[in-house]
Amino acid sequence: MIVIVDYGMGNLRSVEKAFQKTGADVMVSNRPADVLNATSVVLPGVGAFRDCIGNLETLGLASAIKESISIGKPFLGICLGMQILFEESEEFGLHKGLGIFKGNVPKFISTTLKIPHMGWNKVTLRKKIPLFDGIEDGQYFYFVHSYYVAPVDDEIIAGTTEYGGTFTSMIAKDNVYALQFHPEKSQKIGLKIIENFVKIA
C-alpha cells in the first residue's frame, strides 16, 4: 500500500488520481499509523513551509515520516514535500524542517524573472536513478514555486534546472526521492515518473 500523506494542504486529489492511473494500491491518509504501515510514502505539497511543518507535527506525521525513511521505505517528496526534508526554510522567517538532509530552502531573488517560477522547464540529470528509467535527459516538467532547496551534499543532487541560475530540481539518496516539479501536472512524462516510483515501491 502506497500512502499519500494528508496534512491539510496540497493538491492531494490530483496526486491520488495520477497514482490510480498506474493501477497502484494507494490511499490518502492523515493517520500516523497508516504511514507506518505503508509499504511506501508520498509527501506532496503546495503552500507555506511553516504551515506544512506545523501540521505535520500537530498530527504526529513528522515522526512517522522520519521513521519510515529511516527504516528504508521508498519515499517520494513533491514540491513542498521536497523542501520539508531539509533543515530550514527562509519562507516567512526561519522555520525548521524534518532535517533528513542538510541544507536550507532560500527564495529566488531576481529583478528580471517572474517569481514564482511557474510553467514548464527542463530538468538536466546529474546521475542515473530508477525514478527516471525510460526517461531521456533534458525533459520538461511543470513547476510552481518561489523557493528552492540548497543541499549541503552535492551527492544527493539528481537533477538541476535553470532559472536565473542553476537550482536543484531533483534529489535522490538510498530510498528517498524528491522533486521540485509536479509529476502529476506534467502529463505523460510525469506519469512515467509515477509509474517508476510504483515499481520501486
Q: Which residue has the cell 512524462?
A: 189
Catalytic residue among 16, 91, 184, 195: 184
List residues bridging with 177 in a β-sheet: 76, 172
> CA-to-CA distance for 83 and 156, rounded, in angstroms?
14
Among 79, 95, 117, 145, the one annotated catalytic: 79
184 is catalytic: yes
73's grid cell: 521505505
- 16 assigned to active site: no
Give the H/E segment covering residue 81: helix 80-83
Cell of 162: 535553470
Examine the residue annotation and report whether 67 is marked as an active-site residue of this protein: no
For every residue of 10-56, DSSP letters joined together read: S-HHHHHHHHHHTT--EEEE--HHHHHH-SEEEE---S-HHHHHHHH
Give the SS3 label for residue 98: coil
Joined grid coordinates for residue 177: 526521492
Distance separating the N- and C-terminal Cα atoms of the chain: 9
Phi, then psi, of 72 in degrees rounded to 5: 95, 15
Catalytic residue among 95, 117, 145, 182: 182
* Bridge partners, 173 (sequence order): 176
Q: Could you give the residue numbers annotated as active site? A: 79, 182, 184
